[in-house]
Protein backbone atom coordinates (compact mmCIF):
# COMPACT_ATOMS: atom_id res chain seq x y z
CA UNK A 1 0.00 0.00 0.00
CA UNK A 2 1.26 3.48 -0.89
CA UNK A 3 0.99 5.78 2.10
CA UNK A 4 0.62 9.58 2.14
CA UNK A 5 -0.16 12.20 4.79
CA UNK A 6 -0.65 15.88 5.49
CA UNK A 7 1.27 17.41 8.41
CA UNK A 8 0.03 20.46 10.26
CA UNK A 9 -1.27 22.03 13.44
CA UNK A 10 -4.20 22.55 13.59
CA UNK A 11 -5.17 19.82 11.17
CA UNK A 12 -8.76 18.83 12.03
CA UNK A 13 -10.17 21.25 9.44
CA UNK A 14 -8.26 19.68 6.54
CA UNK A 15 -10.31 18.17 3.72
CA UNK A 16 -7.24 16.72 2.04
CA UNK A 17 -7.71 13.15 3.37
CA UNK A 18 -11.28 12.92 2.08
CA UNK A 19 -10.25 14.56 -1.20
CA UNK A 20 -7.27 12.25 -1.77
CA UNK A 21 -8.81 9.01 -0.53
CA UNK A 22 -11.84 9.58 -2.78
CA UNK A 23 -9.45 10.03 -5.69
CA UNK A 24 -7.42 6.93 -4.85
CA UNK A 25 -10.60 4.83 -4.78
CA UNK A 26 -11.62 6.24 -8.17
CA UNK A 27 -8.21 5.46 -9.65
CA UNK A 28 -8.24 1.96 -8.18
CA UNK A 29 -5.03 2.56 -6.24
CA UNK A 30 -3.99 0.65 -3.15
CA UNK A 31 -3.16 3.86 -1.31
CA UNK A 32 -4.18 5.79 1.78
CA UNK A 33 -3.84 9.41 2.90
CA UNK A 34 -4.22 10.62 6.48
CA UNK A 35 -4.01 13.84 8.48
CA UNK A 36 -1.33 13.97 11.17
CA UNK A 37 -1.24 16.63 13.86
CA UNK A 38 2.39 17.71 14.30
CA UNK A 39 3.08 20.26 17.03
CA UNK A 40 5.69 22.98 16.65
CA UNK A 41 9.10 21.58 17.45
CA UNK A 42 8.13 18.02 16.43
CA UNK A 43 8.35 18.36 12.65
CA UNK A 44 11.83 16.85 12.21
CA UNK A 45 10.83 13.82 14.27
CA UNK A 46 7.62 13.39 12.27
CA UNK A 47 9.42 13.60 8.92
CA UNK A 48 12.03 11.06 10.01
CA UNK A 49 9.29 8.70 11.17
CA UNK A 50 7.40 8.91 7.87
CA UNK A 51 10.60 8.18 5.98
CA UNK A 52 11.35 5.17 8.18
CA UNK A 53 7.79 3.90 7.58
CA UNK A 54 8.34 4.21 3.81
CA UNK A 55 5.71 6.83 3.11
CA UNK A 56 5.77 7.87 -0.55
CA UNK A 57 4.95 11.51 0.06
CA UNK A 58 3.29 14.08 2.27
CA UNK A 59 1.78 17.53 2.16
CA UNK A 60 2.81 20.20 4.64
CA UNK A 61 0.54 22.95 5.93
CA UNK A 62 0.37 25.57 8.71
CA UNK A 63 2.74 26.19 10.50
CA UNK A 64 5.47 24.03 8.95
CA UNK A 65 5.89 25.13 5.32
CA UNK A 66 8.99 27.21 5.99
CA UNK A 67 10.59 25.10 8.71
CA UNK A 68 10.52 21.98 6.54
CA UNK A 69 12.94 23.64 4.08
CA UNK A 70 15.92 22.65 6.23
CA UNK A 71 14.82 19.00 6.48
CA UNK A 72 14.90 18.05 2.79
CA UNK A 73 17.81 16.64 0.81
CA UNK A 74 16.82 18.42 -2.40
CA UNK A 75 14.71 21.53 -3.02
CA UNK A 76 12.92 22.31 -6.28
CA UNK A 77 13.75 25.68 -7.89
CA UNK A 78 10.18 26.87 -7.34
CA UNK A 79 10.15 25.90 -3.66
CA UNK A 80 13.49 27.68 -3.26
CA UNK A 81 12.13 30.80 -4.95
CA UNK A 82 9.01 30.81 -2.78
CA UNK A 83 10.88 29.98 0.40
CA UNK A 84 8.34 27.35 1.43
CA UNK A 85 7.51 23.67 0.83
CA UNK A 86 4.05 22.14 0.71
CA UNK A 87 4.89 18.74 -0.83
CA UNK A 88 7.41 16.10 0.26
CA UNK A 89 8.45 13.18 -1.92
CA UNK A 90 10.71 10.31 -0.84
CA UNK A 91 12.41 9.21 -4.07
CA UNK A 92 15.47 7.00 -4.57
CA UNK A 93 16.53 7.30 -0.96
CA UNK A 94 16.35 11.08 -0.67
CA UNK A 95 13.69 13.51 0.50
CA UNK A 96 12.61 16.12 -2.05
CA UNK A 97 10.84 19.39 -1.21
CA UNK A 98 8.43 20.88 -3.73
CA UNK A 99 5.82 23.62 -3.82
CA UNK A 100 2.58 23.16 -5.77
CA UNK A 101 0.75 26.00 -4.00
CA UNK A 102 1.87 28.75 -6.40
CA UNK A 103 0.76 26.94 -9.57
CA UNK A 104 -2.43 25.89 -7.77
CA UNK A 105 -3.19 29.47 -6.78
CA UNK A 106 -2.55 30.82 -10.28
CA UNK A 107 -4.66 28.08 -11.89
CA UNK A 108 -7.54 28.87 -9.50
CA UNK A 109 -7.34 32.58 -10.35
CA UNK A 110 -7.27 31.97 -14.07
CA UNK A 111 -10.15 29.52 -13.77
CA UNK A 112 -12.17 32.32 -12.17
CA UNK A 113 -11.31 34.69 -15.01
CA UNK A 114 -8.68 36.81 -13.22
CA UNK A 115 -5.32 37.58 -14.82
CA UNK A 116 -2.69 39.18 -12.56
CA UNK A 117 -0.74 40.89 -15.33
CA UNK A 118 -0.91 44.64 -14.90
CA UNK A 119 -2.89 44.44 -11.64
CA UNK A 120 -1.61 45.17 -8.15
CA UNK A 121 -2.29 42.96 -5.14
CA UNK A 122 -2.47 43.17 -1.36
CA UNK A 123 -1.69 39.98 0.56
CA UNK A 124 -2.62 39.52 4.21
CA UNK A 125 -0.05 37.25 5.83
CA UNK A 126 3.59 36.52 5.12
CA UNK A 127 3.90 32.77 5.80
CA UNK A 128 4.13 29.88 3.38
CA UNK A 129 0.72 30.35 1.72
CA UNK A 130 1.26 34.11 1.36
CA UNK A 131 4.68 33.54 -0.18
CA UNK A 132 3.25 31.07 -2.70
CA UNK A 133 0.50 33.54 -3.67
CA UNK A 134 3.07 36.33 -4.04
CA UNK A 135 5.32 34.18 -6.23
CA UNK A 136 2.39 33.23 -8.45
CA UNK A 137 1.17 36.81 -8.84
CA UNK A 138 4.59 38.31 -9.55
CA UNK A 139 5.47 35.52 -11.96
CA UNK A 140 2.09 36.16 -13.62
CA UNK A 141 2.94 39.81 -14.21
CA UNK A 142 1.56 41.72 -11.21
CA UNK A 143 3.48 45.03 -11.19
CA UNK A 144 2.83 45.91 -7.53
CA UNK A 145 2.40 43.79 -4.42
CA UNK A 146 2.22 44.59 -0.72
CA UNK A 147 2.30 42.29 2.31
CA UNK A 148 0.40 43.11 5.49
CA UNK A 149 1.06 40.86 8.49
CA UNK A 150 0.64 41.02 12.25
CA UNK A 151 4.36 40.29 12.51
CA UNK A 152 5.80 43.26 10.63
CA UNK A 153 9.29 41.73 10.61
CA UNK A 154 7.94 38.70 8.72
CA UNK A 155 6.22 40.96 6.17
CA UNK A 156 9.43 42.96 5.63
CA UNK A 157 11.44 39.77 5.17
CA UNK A 158 8.98 38.51 2.55
CA UNK A 159 9.01 41.87 0.75
CA UNK A 160 12.82 41.90 0.64
CA UNK A 161 12.92 38.33 -0.65
CA UNK A 162 10.47 38.92 -3.50
CA UNK A 163 11.82 42.37 -4.28
CA UNK A 164 15.17 40.75 -5.05
CA UNK A 165 13.57 37.85 -6.93
CA UNK A 166 11.38 40.16 -9.06
CA UNK A 167 13.33 43.45 -9.28
CA UNK A 168 11.03 44.81 -11.98
CA UNK A 169 8.06 44.83 -9.57
CA UNK A 170 7.20 47.20 -6.71
CA UNK A 171 7.10 44.96 -3.63
CA UNK A 172 6.53 46.46 -0.20
CA UNK A 173 4.65 46.26 3.08
CA UNK A 174 1.75 48.00 4.75
CA UNK A 175 0.93 48.11 8.46
CA UNK A 176 -1.65 45.73 9.91
CA UNK A 177 -4.45 48.28 10.42
CA UNK A 178 -7.35 49.66 8.40
CA UNK A 179 -6.07 53.24 8.27
CA UNK A 180 -2.81 52.16 6.62
CA UNK A 181 -4.49 49.71 4.24
CA UNK A 182 -7.14 52.14 2.91
CA UNK A 183 -4.92 54.19 0.54
CA UNK A 184 -3.21 51.03 -0.72
CA UNK A 185 -6.54 49.61 -1.93
CA UNK A 186 -6.90 52.48 -4.38
CA UNK A 187 -4.00 51.01 -6.37
CA UNK A 188 -4.75 47.30 -5.87
CA UNK A 189 -7.32 45.19 -7.69
CA UNK A 190 -6.74 41.90 -5.84
CA UNK A 191 -6.92 41.22 -2.10
CA UNK A 192 -5.74 37.85 -0.76
CA UNK A 193 -6.23 36.50 2.75
CA UNK A 194 -3.43 34.00 3.37
CA UNK A 195 -3.91 33.88 7.15
CA UNK A 196 -5.99 31.46 9.30
CA UNK A 197 -8.43 34.27 10.14
CA UNK A 198 -11.94 33.06 9.31
CA UNK A 199 -11.20 29.41 10.08
CA UNK A 200 -12.09 27.26 13.10
CA UNK A 201 -12.07 29.19 16.37
CA UNK A 202 -11.18 32.29 14.34
CA UNK A 203 -14.24 32.02 12.10
CA UNK A 204 -15.65 35.39 13.26
CA UNK A 205 -12.39 37.19 12.49
CA UNK A 206 -11.01 38.71 9.32
CA UNK A 207 -7.98 40.84 8.38
CA UNK A 208 -8.10 44.64 8.91
CA UNK A 209 -9.89 45.57 5.71
CA UNK A 210 -11.46 49.06 5.51
CA UNK A 211 -14.88 48.22 4.08
CA UNK A 212 -15.52 51.79 2.94
CA UNK A 213 -12.56 51.50 0.54
CA UNK A 214 -13.84 48.29 -1.01
CA UNK A 215 -15.61 48.58 -4.38
CA UNK A 216 -17.07 46.39 -7.10
CA UNK A 217 -13.77 46.59 -9.00
CA UNK A 218 -11.98 44.59 -6.31
CA UNK A 219 -11.51 40.81 -6.31
CA UNK A 220 -11.17 39.16 -2.88
CA UNK A 221 -9.62 35.70 -2.51
CA UNK A 222 -9.80 33.99 0.87
CA UNK A 223 -7.55 30.93 0.99
CA UNK A 224 -9.66 29.59 3.86
CA UNK A 225 -12.10 26.98 2.50
CA UNK A 226 -13.73 25.77 5.71
CA UNK A 227 -16.25 27.41 6.05
CA UNK A 228 -16.81 27.96 2.35
CA UNK A 229 -18.05 31.51 2.93
CA UNK A 230 -16.03 33.35 5.54
CA UNK A 231 -16.92 36.66 7.14
CA UNK A 232 -14.39 38.30 4.83
CA UNK A 233 -16.11 36.98 1.70
CA UNK A 234 -19.57 37.80 3.04
CA UNK A 235 -18.61 41.40 3.75
CA UNK A 236 -16.76 41.78 0.45
CA UNK A 237 -19.70 40.55 -1.58
CA UNK A 238 -21.99 42.93 0.31
CA UNK A 239 -19.82 45.75 -1.08
CA UNK A 240 -20.15 44.41 -4.61
CA UNK A 241 -16.68 42.87 -4.80
CA UNK A 242 -16.27 39.48 -6.41
CA UNK A 243 -15.01 36.79 -4.04
CA UNK A 244 -13.53 33.31 -4.15
CA UNK A 245 -12.55 30.86 -1.41
CA UNK A 246 -9.64 28.41 -1.34
CA UNK A 247 -11.41 25.30 -2.64
CA UNK A 248 -10.20 25.61 -6.22
CA UNK A 249 -6.63 26.25 -5.11
CA UNK A 250 -6.83 23.23 -2.79
CA UNK A 251 -7.78 20.96 -5.67
CA UNK A 252 -5.19 22.36 -8.07
CA UNK A 253 -2.31 22.16 -5.59
CA UNK A 254 -3.43 18.65 -4.60
CA UNK A 255 -3.39 17.62 -8.25
CA UNK A 256 0.14 19.00 -8.51
CA UNK A 257 1.20 16.81 -5.58
CA UNK A 258 -0.44 13.78 -7.19
CA UNK A 259 1.51 14.52 -10.37
CA UNK A 260 4.80 14.46 -8.48
CA UNK A 261 4.00 11.26 -6.59
CA UNK A 262 2.13 9.26 -9.24
CA UNK A 263 2.85 10.88 -12.62
CA UNK A 264 1.28 13.39 -15.01
CA UNK A 265 -1.43 11.03 -16.15
CA UNK A 266 -2.68 10.66 -12.57
CA UNK A 267 -2.58 14.46 -12.20
CA UNK A 268 -4.79 14.92 -15.27
CA UNK A 269 -7.21 12.24 -14.04
CA UNK A 270 -7.35 13.92 -10.63
CA UNK A 271 -8.33 17.28 -12.10
CA UNK A 272 -10.93 15.66 -14.32
CA UNK A 273 -12.38 13.65 -11.43
CA UNK A 274 -12.65 16.65 -9.11
CA UNK A 275 -14.21 18.74 -11.87
CA UNK A 276 -16.85 16.05 -12.40
CA UNK A 277 -17.28 15.48 -8.65
CA UNK A 278 -16.98 18.96 -7.03
CA UNK A 279 -18.40 17.79 -3.69
CA UNK A 280 -15.84 15.01 -3.25
CA UNK A 281 -14.25 15.50 0.15
CA UNK A 282 -16.77 18.14 1.20
Which residues have a catalytic role annotated?
A: 65
d(CA 116, CA 137): 6
Beta strands in the chain (DSSP E): 2-8, 31-37, 57-60, 74-75, 87-91, 94-98, 121-124, 144-148, 170-173, 190-193, 219-222, 242-244
- Could you tell me where the DSSP H helices lie in 166-216? 178-185
d(CA 170, CA 65): 25
Contacts of 224 (CB under 8 A, 6+ apart): 193, 196, 197, 198, 199, 230, 232, 245, 246
Using DSSP, state whether 46 is helix, strand or coil. Answer: helix
d(CA 273, CA 35): 22
- The DSSP letter of residue 222 is E
Strand partners, 171: 145
Other CB atoms within 10 A of residue 201 CB: 8
- The DSSP letter of residue 166 is S
Amino acid sequence: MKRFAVLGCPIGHSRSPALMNGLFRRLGLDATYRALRVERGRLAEAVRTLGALRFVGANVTIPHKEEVLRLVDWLSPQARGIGAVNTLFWRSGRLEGHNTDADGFLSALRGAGFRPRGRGALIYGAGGAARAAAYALLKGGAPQLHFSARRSSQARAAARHFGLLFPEADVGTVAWDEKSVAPVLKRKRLIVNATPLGMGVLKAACPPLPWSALTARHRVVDLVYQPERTRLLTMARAKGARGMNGLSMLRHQAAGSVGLWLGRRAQARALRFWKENPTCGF
